Structure 1
C-alpha cells in the first residue's frame, strides 16, 4: 500500500486518535509530572541511562531536537537537565499543552514546540546540521510508514559528530498481543514483516485502563530491527549502539509486571526482549 507521507487517511486518523488522548494522558498518573515541576526529569530509566552515557558531563550547551514529543514531558526533562530543545509533534492539543507546561516551568526561552508531521520537519524547521542530539523514544516509528525517510530527516538535522538517541518497543515483541497464549502469555497477532499497515480499531488507552477513545482507528506499521538499522546506515549515520532490553515503560502485555521506576517486564523468564535502543552518530568532517 502506497501512502502519501505528508497527508492521507493514515495521518488524519492517527492524529485524531492522539489529539483525543492528550486530555486523558495529562490527567493520568501514568504521566505524573511532579518531578518536572520540582526541576527534575521524568525520563524512563533506559533513556536516562542512555543520555547519561552519551553526555557524562551533562547537557549544558547541548541543542536537542525531540521528534514526536507528545506533550513534551521528556523534552522538558532534557531542558531541566541543561539542554536547549525543540520538540515537534503532529497533535495540536499536545503541542499546546507542551507550550503551557514550558511556561509554567519558566523554561519557554529554552524549550520551543512546533506542531508538525515529522515528515514535514525540514520545511517547518529549516535548520540543517544544527542539533547535537536528535532524541525520539517510545511509540514513535510504529506510526510512520517510511523509516528510510525518517532516518534521512534525522541525518539532515544532526551536526557533524551529532548523535541520535532512539528507544522503542522491540519489533519481536510487537508480533504478540493479549493473553491468549499458554499460561497467560501473549499470542501471535501480527507478522514481523508486513508491507501493509495494520489498521486497528481499539478504543483502549495504555495510560488509563478506564478510558475509551472515540477516534479509535489507527494505522500502524511494523519495522523490523534490520530495517531500522539499515535505514540509519543508508542515511549516512554510524550505528554505534544497538542494545536489547527486557523491560519497557508501559504494561505491554497483561502478564508483564512492575519492575520499579515505571518499568514493566516478564514475571519470571526473560521470554524475549521487550524494547531496544539505538545510538547513531553523524560522521565528523575532516
Structure 2
C-alpha cells in the first residue's frame, strides 16, 4: 500500500482519534496528573528520566530540546521545569492548544516552552531550524502511528546539531503482536504479525488512559516497525546508537492483566515473558540527512 506521508485517510483518522482523546486525557478518570507540573516538578516516567540522566549527567539546564509527537505537552513542560528550552510538536490542534494554555499557566514564555502544530512529516516546514537542537526527545506511542520510520529518522537528524542526542523510548514491537482484550483470562494473545508491512486498520473505541472512556472516532491506522527496521533507519540517517535497552515495564496498562509495578509503571503479573518496551540513545555523527 502506497502512503502519502502528508495527507490521506490514515492521517485524518489518526488525527481525529487523538483530537478526541485530549479532553478524555484531561478528565478526572485519566492517568495523566498535571499537578506535579504546577509544583515545578516533572512527570517523566522512570525510563525517560534514566535516559536523560545518562545522556546529560549534569542536567538539561539551558539545553535546546525538540519533543516530537508531544501530545498536550506534559513531558515537554517537564523538560522545561528541569531547565531546558523546549519546542513541542504535535499534529492535534486541541493538544497543542492545551499545551500552550498549560505553559501560560506555568508562566513559561515561548523562549522556554513553545508548541507547534504539525504532522511530524511536515516538521521541517513548520519549524525551519535545521541543526539547532541539542537533543530530540520522543517517547511512548509515537512511531506506531507513522508509516515511514526512515523519514522519521532523517527528520530527527535534520534537527540535531552535530553531536546532538536522540532520547527515544516506545512500546516494544514484540509486545504489539498481542491483543489483551479478547482473552478470557485477560492475558494477551497473538493477533498482529511482527513482520507485517501493511497498516493495521483498527476499530477500537477504548482509551489507554481512561478505562471508562468510549471514543466516537475509533478508527486508527497503526504500523508494526520491527527492531531491525528502527535501528537501520537511525543508522542510515547518520545517528550512532550508543545505548539500547529492553524493559519489562511500560507507563500505561498495556494489557488488562498487567499489574502496577510502582512509579506509574506496569509489568507482567508473574514473570517477565517478553520485553514490553525499549529505549534508544543515539548521537548525530555527521551533517545529517536532508
Same-fold call, TM cutoff 0.5: yes
1:4 matched residue in structure 2: 4
* Cα distance, 1:183 vs structure 2: 5.7
Within a 5 Å distance, the mapping from 1:125-164 to structure 2 comes to 125-164=127-166
Distance in 2 of aligned mates of 1:24 and 1:183 = 27
Within a 5 Å distance, the mapping from 1:28-67 to structure 2 comes to 28-67=29-68
* Cα distance, 1:121 vs structure 2: 0.3
Q: Paired residue for 2:259, among 257, 260, 265? A: 257
* Cα distance, 1:185 vs structure 2: 2.2
Cα offsets for 1:115-164 (capped at 9, x unmatched): 00000000111111100010000000000000000000000000010000
2:82 matched residue in structure 1: 81
Q: Cα RMSD between the aligned structures?
A: 1.2
* Cα distance, 1:52 vs structure 2: 1.2
2:178 matched residue in structure 1: 176
* Cα distance, 1:214 vs structure 2: 0.2
For structure 2, the residue ranges without an aligned partner over 5 or more in a row are none
* Cα distance, 1:179 vs structure 2: 5.3
Cα offsets for 1:99-122 (capped at 9, x unmatched): 000000001231000000000000
Answer yes or no: is the 8 Å Cα contact 2:62–2:83 preserved in 1. yes
Aligned length: 285
Answer yes or no: is the 8 Å Cα contact 1:179–1:255 preserved in 2. no
Distance in 2 of aligned mates of 1:164 and 1:36 = 24
Distance in 2 of aligned mates of 1:216 and 1:74 = 25
Moved over 4 A (4+): 179-184
Answer yes or no: is the 8 Å Cα contact 1:66–1:75 preserved in 2. yes
Task: Identify if the C-alpha distance between structure 1 residues 216 and 255 changes in structure 2 by more than 3 Å, giving closer, same or farther.
Answer: same
Cα offsets for 1:208-229 (capped at 9, x unmatched): 1111100000000000011000
For structure 1, the residue ranges without an aligned partner over 5 or more in a row are none
Answer yes or no: is the 8 Å Cα contact 1:99–1:108 preserved in 2. no
